[in-house]
Structure 1
């Protein structure tokens, strides 16, 4: 039982529901078009496209953290949308209304992002001319993987992303004996058909050719601040770093709301 629970807890979690029309959309006067498409590896993905009030070629794609949904990102994303961007949000596989039982931290999920861009090209081709991809926490790992493979992404923003999944697992379960940890990892790889050693944003970011903005909370204990510094050092394209002072992983988006809004709008407008 323990052997099964450990790998499953890494790959899967409760799928939180997503409302058809969350009240926050009406508060902002935003109209969300429902998206539904299949990835190239045949996973059903659900999302929203919220067009800018004035037609725009600039689009923000925002990816949620592990265990969250696209709905959870509206409070963070809609103030950015108000600045004149199109906004696209999806439930990554294994989350919300999207398919699959497993989440592999970017190993497979980059295809969710690529499939979204394909879908937008069919529905709203103007919206794919200038894409900024933003990922929060584990969503930042997905975003980095996608940006390393997808040339249609023009800018990358990571917020509190880990630098390497193996290292993150060790840091978050320090009391788990190495034997059990390695055994769980090997079983998780079999279950979800992926290689944890390949889930390494610090290696993937070296292949990213577009400008990158690395953001991390100084007091983050869940994904320590050093992860952001490692990612920034590894990036080889034009890059910026922003440290969120006096904030941790849980409260960073709320405490630094205005500062993040200004920083991201400036970066995505270049």
Structure 2
């Protein structure tokens, strides 16, 4: 499947201001730009994870020094070019993990997970999503359009590694939600299992939660206005971006991981995603971990839990 997006041009929005105040619209538009517009740097991590900085940069240095290839989708379409790093395993293998990064991150920010899977004998494909890193796009789509790019990445892996490939999908935060949303698509048999770390249940629910927690704003009329702006710019409403709806169609084994002290994507969303899933599933709540901290809190326990899941479902 080839996904091509036309260059975004913000035209005057056809949203009647008679229903809302101009002030509400202005607030919503500024929020849209704050949350959805790309930034070409990785924002600082949370205070809770600052203590892992030295380890993080060691992982990044390892990834930069490890032999890799640069893969590209839509190379002849500047508005749609998507870039990834492919890191082959030390020994030839049919096992490949495709790793999805988090919000305002890039493939480099997944270096610790790349190294973990590399040591477990996997090839690794690590894309920059649209609106991130070296990939094109002026706006972040929170995994909804990215999921279609990942279907192309899956086919690229099969073409490169072989039709007897065994593929694992893995993601953290927005990447976790991206994996969850990919799960509802028609996947080739080479995709054997999925792991989603701290993914949200839906972007509407996540935005509504953050409106109250961070900005002290009501859901109405802000969320419907942001959704309308997003539909105008990117072609879909926030109601479309739902992990739970996609997981209801999933038929692959999946491991959900979530920090018990996550106040960015609240842990109740992990339970929502788990309940929505009818396929074989596991849920691991890392009691004292904050958002996207589960690996860093105890890397040995994290790897052990992932290994146990793979020994059961990835054969």
With normalisation by structure 1, the TM-score equals 0.90
Comparing 180-189 with 82-91, greater Cα deviation is found at: 180-189
> Which of 257, 263, 266 does residue 308 from structure 2 map onto?
266
Please identify the structure whose Cα radius of gyration is greater.
2
Q: Secondary structure at the match of 2:184?
A: helix
Tell me how many residue pairs correspond in the alignment. 263
| 1: CA distance, partners of 2:186 / 2:85 | 20
> Cα offset for 1:6?
1.8
**What RMSD over aligned residues (CA atoms) do the two structures have, in Å?**
2.2
Q: Match for residue 146 of structure 2?
A: 109
| 1: CA distance, partners of 2:292 / 2:194 | 22
**1:231 equivalenced with 2:277 (yes/no):** no
> Cα offset for 1:73?
0.2
Q: Match for residue 73 of structure 2?
A: 37
**1:196 equivalenced with 2:238 (yes/no):** yes
| CA offset digits 1:51-110 (Å, max 9, x no partner) | 111111111111000100000001222122111111110001110001111222222111
Kept after mapping to 2: 8 A contact 1:49/1:88: yes
> Cα offset for 1:113?
0.6
| CA offset digits 1:33-53 (Å, max 9, x no partner) | 1111229x9721111111111
Kept after mapping to 2: 8 A contact 1:80/1:265: no
Q: Match for residue 255 of structure 1?
A: 297
Q: Match for residue 121 of structure 1?
A: 158
> Cα offset for 1:150?
3.9
Q: Secondary structure at the match of 2:284?
A: strand
| 2: CA distance, partners of 1:142 / 1:45 | 15
**1:154 equivalenced with 2:186 (yes/no):** no
Kept after mapping to 1: 8 A contact 2:146/2:178: yes
**1:163 equivalenced with 2:205 (yes/no):** no
Kept after mapping to 1: 8 A contact 2:204/2:223: no
> Cα offset for 1:134?
0.6
Q: Match for residue 54 of structure 1?
A: 91
| 2: CA distance, partners of 1:35 / 1:62 | 14
With normalisation by structure 2, the TM-score equals 0.78
| 2: CA distance, partners of 1:101 / 1:221 | 28
Q: Match for residue 172 of structure 1?
A: 210
| CA offset digits 1:86-143 (Å, max 9, x no partner) | 11100011100011112222221111211212222333326x7211101111111111
| CA offset digits 1:185-220 (Å, max 9, x no partner) | 211221111121121111110111110111111110
Q: Match for residue 37 of structure 2?
A: 12
Comparing 224-233 with 258-267, greater Cα deviation is found at: 258-267
> Which of 134, 141, 155 does residue 177 from structure 2 map onto?
141
> Cα offset for 1:15?
2.2
Q: Tell me, which stretches of 5 or more residues in structure 1 are unaligned?
A: none
